[in-house]
Amino acid sequence: MGDFSGGSGTLYSPFLIANKSDFETMFLDEYRTQGYYFKQTANIDFESVFWEPTGHYYDAFTGDYDGNNKIISNLTTNYGLFPTLNSGSVIRVTVQNGILTDIGENNIFGFIAPQCTNSHIAGCNVSGSGSKSYSGAGAAYGGVGGVCGGATNSLVEYNISDVTLSAVTVAGIVGTATNSMIRANYSKGTITASCIGGGIVGGVLSSQIIDCFSECNIQGGQSYSFIGGKGGIAGYLNTAYNYHDYPPAPITRCFSTGDIIETGGSYDETCAGVVGGVNRVGDYDFVATLQSVSNCVALNETIYSSDYAAGIVSAVKTIPETSVPDPITMGTYQRSDMLLTGSGGVSGAAVESSVYNGISFWRDTLGFDFTTVWDWDLVTSLPKLLPYSYVAPIPPIPEETNIEYYSGIYPMDKPTVFTGRHGVLSNWKGE
């Protein structure tokens, strides 16, 4: 096939993407949905182009794309660099100076992809800005994310975002996560949400958030009556579906530092340093299992709400109004000099800067892994994530070999299993 700058589309000889023409060709039907491998070999500038990838929301990208740490610059799009991913993989892509355009009645967007299902996004670095003003039916259940709008049964790890985004549901990394693992991501910038806003994830349904750090400032009012929240890590936990299909999923070893500010709205606002709001919607026979928040730290200087605010987890709402306990919180801390306005929810133990500016607090008290996940930042005297570790495939490893990945992440007592050539997250429940 001579439609690219080289390669044959296999694991060991991927199609080479050296320019915009190569990139556009990748989304033709004969390539986009056939599970080919691609590798970017040069920086690509999308200046003066409105990018709308073929296949958005319809025929998903099923291939394996390695951005090779090359740059995609000046991307202007209403969806993302890729269409929906389904059993696909995107790694080591850098999107620089991206622009989200507010066109059409849709409420899902990510600079890498608007939606990923059974997929893997890792080692990507995005920067950009924009907004989605759509607030029609179902707007709160979509998602705008710096990396991915919505993630379902997927693994999103070791990504970095520096974004200024505004939408109904919006976050620094993933807008909405369902039954997914969101691991070792870092975000900074400004998130403005009219309903759900999170530094890492906006809306969370039975998804693990592990080893993440956000410096995002989060702001906005509340335009919806029964769901919502602004949180330094997660905006809103909806545990409605835990009781049927999914186990409770932990948020652990995460911390945030940005300010979280309510700016007015029609309904009660909930703000917190880790989780902004929790909602349990279910019947009386199936009360949702508990979501745990453990070994997390809120280092936010200011958290403000005229209604509900807390250092770790803000108010819990239930529909119907049954008697259910707050989420389990274990080993959670908040800075002792936090300026907290509002009440209700779960606070952490007070911790002084003289303590949290020392590595022993994070390593010995909280269990942060400073060998394979975290590094110590000598400038900020806080943890920082190690970069994504990429290992190039070496023949003759079979393409379809199953790989068992022993994560050792609480509460799993069995290995996470990644199957197929893309290393897709297929079963994290330990069943």
Q: Are strands 213-214 and 186-198 parallel, antiparallel or unpaired?
A: parallel
Residue of 406 and 387 predicted with greater confidence: 387
Tokens of 201: 């994830």
- Backbone dihedral region of 74: left (phi > 0), alpha (psi from -120 to 50 degrees) or beta? left
Residue of 58 and 349 predicted with greater confidence: 349
The tens digit of pLDDT for each residue in 374-385 reads 999 999 999 999
Q: Quick one: how many helices (H) and strands (E) in the chain?
A: 4, 46
Collapse the DSSP code of 108 into the 3-class scheme (helix H, G, I; strand E, B; otherwise coil) and give the result.
strand
The angle at the Cα of 125, spanning 100 to 261, to the nearest 5 degrees, equals 60
The tens digit of pLDDT for each residue in 307-323 reads 889 999 887 655 444 44
The H or E element that residue 32 is part of is helix 29-32
Tokens of 255: 């911390």
Q: Answer whether the bond into residue 415 is a cis peptide, omega within 30°.
A: no
Q: Which among 66, 65, 74 is positioned nearest to 31, based on CA atoms?
A: 65
Find the radius of gyration of the CA atoms of the chain: 21
How many CB atoms lie under 10 A from the CB of residue 391? 5
| Residue 425 pLDDT exceeds 50 | no
Within the chain, what is the greatest distance between any pair of CA atoms?
64
pLDDT score for 344: 80
pLDDT score for 343: 84
The tens digit of pLDDT for each residue in 174-233 reads 999 998 999 999 999 999 998 899 999 999 888 899 999 999 999 998 766 656 789 999
| Residue 21, φ and ψ in degrees, nearest 5 | -65, -45
CA–CA distance, 384 with 158 (Å, rounded to integer): 11
The tens digit of pLDDT for each residue in 127-155 reads 999 998 776 655 566 789 999 999 999 99
Domain boundaries of the chain, sorted by first residue: 105-397
Question: 134 with 105: CB under 8 angstroms?
Answer: yes
The H or E element that residue 89 is part of is strand 89-91
pTM, rounded to two decimals = 0.87
Query: Where does residue 406 rank: exposed (0-12), middle (13-18), buried (19+ CB within 10 A)?
Result: exposed
Tokens of 264: 């007015």
pLDDT score for 42: 98
CA–CA distance, 197 with 305 (Å, rounded to integer): 14
Compute CA distances 394 → 11, 90, 328, 366, 398, whole Å. 9, 19, 44, 37, 10
Q: What is the DSSP string of 249-274?
A: --EES-EE-S-EEE---SS--EEESS
The tens digit of pLDDT for each residue in 3-52 reads 899 999 999 999 999 999 999 999 888 888 888 999 999 999 998 889 88
pLDDT score for 239: 62
Question: 279 with 235: CB under 8 angstroms?
Answer: no
Tokens of 261: 């500010």
The tens digit of pLDDT for each residue in 228-266 reads 789 999 998 876 544 445 555 689 999 999 999 988 776
pLDDT score for 102: 80
On average, the pLDDT of the chain sits at 83
How many CB atoms lie under 10 A from the CB of residue 196? 34
